[in-house]
A = this chain, B = another copy of it.
């Protein structure tokens, strides 16, 4: 797996895939900078009149429901359906699913109406999508991950997708195979949009790696290792956010080989 991730990162930097993000207002700038630092090309477009054209130009689509409204939901559905039809990898970040009905419903509709390649969420969001009881405290929930594995496996099978859950323990599952990733840094919780950024990075990997399980795992490992590199000097949160971008630019195969914490099962 680690060799495959290193190759994926190399290919990503060589091809600079265009990743189309329909994402929330809070993280747009940071997401774009994360993708640029990593070596991909970001584009943001949400008008229903142009989403199909933009998806057609892109190598993957990332839909993030962090700041929803009716016209955006319409565009997300249009773009997601179009990506599915064209076989363009589609990543869903169900931010705040479980916190409000609008978010839970929108995320489920996207899962039903489109062919989602990877869902990336935190345990409470994944539990909410699976219909189990979960308390979501805003969008940076650290809900007890009990049940999250079962919920992820259920979703993966139900929607023929791959589910990546980040939290106390990160894991990725397609409903049969599960990969655990033990990378990252506590300071990632102190910078807004790091979860959303992981989802965008999954989109970048999915653009160059056909196997969704490997793409999601690669994104989690690369982002997590960059998070570790950014934290070595034990900075405070403002500086950490800057160093995280620097680390995404510099993280390479040797860092990944040295630090990747992957267990396949």
Contacts and interface: CB of A to CB of B under 8 A. Distances in A.
B49 A102 contact: yes
B237 A245 contact: yes
Interface string A31-66: 011001100011111110110011001100000001
A190 B249 contact: yes
A244 B249 CA distance: 17
Interface in A107-162: 136-140
Contact of A57 (B58, B99, B242): B99
B238 A36 contact: no
A67 B54 CA distance: 12
A108 to B, nearest CB: 15
A18 B237 CA distance: 19
A57 B124 CA distance: 15
A192 B239 CA distance: 18
B99 A53 contact: yes
Contact of A47 (B68, B192, B241): B68
A243 interface: yes
A263 interface: no
B18 A44 contact: no
A49 B46 CA distance: 20
A28 interface: yes
Given A27-B29, A138-B18, A43 B238 contact: no
A236 interface: yes
B238 A18 contact: no
Interface of A: 18, 24-30, 32-33, 36-37, 41-47, 49-50, 53-54, 57-58, 66-71, 96, 99-103, 136-140, 189-193, 235-239, 241-247, 249-250
Given A36-B237, A44-B67, 19 more contacts: A26-B28, A26-B44, A29-B29, A36-B191, A37-B190, A37-B238, A41-B138, A43-B96, A45-B96, A46-B67, A47-B68, A53-B101, A54-B99, A57-B136, A236-B249, A237-B245, A237-B246, A238-B249, A242-B242
> Which 3 A-B residue pairings sit nearest by Cβ, starting from the closest?
A238-B245, A236-B246, A32-B192
